[in-house]
C-alpha cells in the first residue's frame, strides 16, 4: 500500500519544488498566515495526487495491480496525513529559518492545520470518488463567489472575525475541549474513509 503513497509523491516530484518555492516566497513576503499556507498547500497536493489517478484510465491500471480497492482508498487517506505532516513541517521550518522565529514549532497552530486538513479531506475525498475531480473546479468557483459575496455584502469584517476565532482557539487552555475536538475529527475522518471505500468498491471501470 505504501508504494501507492510513494507513487503520489513521484508523480508530483517536480511540482513539489514549485510548491516549496512559492511557500518560501509567501514566508519572505509575510503576506499570509502560516495556518492558511499549511492548510491550502496540503489540500492542494492531496487533491492533485487524486486527480492524476483519473487521467488516462489510471484507475483501470490501479485495479489491475495486486491491490484491493480498500487498499487503494486507504492509501489516499493515510497519504493525506503523511502529506499534511510534510507540508506543515516545511512551512514551520521555513518560517523559523527565514524569519528567525524564536519558536520552531507552534504546536497549537500545527494541530489546527492538521485538524482542518482532516476535516476538508473528510468531505472532499468521498465527493471525489463519487463524482469526477472536474466537479471541484465548479464547486471551487461557486465557493469563492459565495466567499466574496459574504465579505463584500453581508460580513465585511469576516476575515478579522475569522482571525479572532483562530486566536481564541490558540489561547484555550482546556484540555478536555481539545480532546473532544480531536475525537470528533478522528471519527469524521474514519467515517469518511469507510464511506469512500464503499463508494469505490461499487464503481465500475
| Number of Cβ within a 10 Å radius of residue 35 | 19
pLDDT of res. 4: 85
193 belongs to a structural domain:
yes
pLDDT of res. 195: 96
- What is the total count of domains within the chain? 1
Report, in this order, helix, strand and coil percent for the chain, each rounded to 5: 85, 0, 15
pLDDT of res. 88: 92
Residue 48 and residue 43: Cα distance in Å, rounded? 8
The residue length of the chain stands at 205
pLDDT in tens, 65-79: 788 889 999 999 999
Q: Which residues contact 52 (CB under 8 A, 6 or more apart)?
A: 8, 11, 12, 58
Residue pair 91/34 in contact by the 8 Å Cβ criterion: yes
Q: Helices 107-130 and 175-201, interaxial angle, to 10°?
A: 20
144 belongs to a structural domain:
no
15 belongs to a structural domain:
yes
Q: Which helix (H) or strand (E) holds 94?
A: helix 69-99
How is residue 38 written as a grid cell? Answer: 499549511
137 belongs to a structural domain:
no
75 belongs to a structural domain:
yes
Task: State which residues form the domain around 192.
Answer: 2-130+172-201
Residue pair 62/53 in contact by the 8 Å Cβ criterion: yes
Residue pair 121/189 in contact by the 8 Å Cβ criterion: yes
Q: How far is CA 167 from the centre of its chain?
A: 21
Write out residues in the chain with pLDDT < 50, as ranges: none
Residue 114 and residue 119: Cα distance in Å, rounded? 9
pLDDT of res. 158: 63
Closest by CA to 117, choosing from 72, 90, 139, 87, is 87
Cα–Cα distances in angstroms (integers) from residue 36 to residues 33, 70, 169, 183, 198, in the given order = 5, 31, 15, 23, 32
165 belongs to a structural domain:
no
158 belongs to a structural domain:
no
pLDDT of res. 105: 63
pLDDT of res. 51: 80
Q: Which residues contact 76 (CB under 8 A, 6 or more apart)?
A: 46, 49, 50, 125, 196
pLDDT of res. 81: 95
- Please identify which residue in the block is written with the cell numbers 512559492: 22
152 belongs to a structural domain:
no
pLDDT in tens, 121-159: 998 899 888 876 556 656 666 666 676 676 667 666 766
- Single pTM value for the model: 0.81
Amino acid at each position: 500500500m505504501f508504494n501507492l503513497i510513494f507513487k503520489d509523491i513521484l508523480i508530483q516530484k517536480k511540482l513539489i519544488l514549485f510548491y516549496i518555492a512559492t511557500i518560501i516566497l509567501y514566508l519572505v513576503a509575510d503576506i499570509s498566515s502560516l495556518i492558511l499556507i499549511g492548510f491550502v498547500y496540503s489540500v492542494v497536493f492531496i487533491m492533485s495526487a487524486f486527480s492524476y489517478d483519473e487521467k488516462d484510465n489510471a484507475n483501470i491500471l490501479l485495479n489491475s495491480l495486486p491491490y484491493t480497492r480498500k487498499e487503494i482508498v486507504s492509501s489516499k487517506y493515510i497519504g493525506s496525513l503523511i502529506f499534511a505532516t510534510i507540508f506543515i513541517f516545511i512551512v514551520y521550518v521555513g518560517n523559523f529559518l527565514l524569519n528567525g522565529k524564536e519558536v520552531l514549532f507552534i504546536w497549537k497552530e500545527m494541530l489546527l492545520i492538521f485538524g482542518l486538513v482532516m476535516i476538508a479531506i473528510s468531505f472532499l475525498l468521498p465527493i471525489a470518488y463519487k463524482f469526477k475531480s472536474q466537479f471541484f473546479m465548479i464547486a471551487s468557483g461557486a465557493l469563492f463567489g459565495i466567499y466574496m459575496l459574504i465579505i463584500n455584502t453581508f460580513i465585511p469584517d469576516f476575515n478579522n472575525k475569522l482571525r479572532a476565532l483562530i486566536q481564541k482557539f490558540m489561547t484555550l487552555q482546556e484540555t478536555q475541549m481539545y480532546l473532544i475536538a480531536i475525537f470528533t475529527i478522528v471519527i469524521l475522518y474514519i467515517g469518511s474513509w469507510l464511506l469512500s471505500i464503499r463508494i469505490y468498491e461499487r464503481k465500475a471501470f
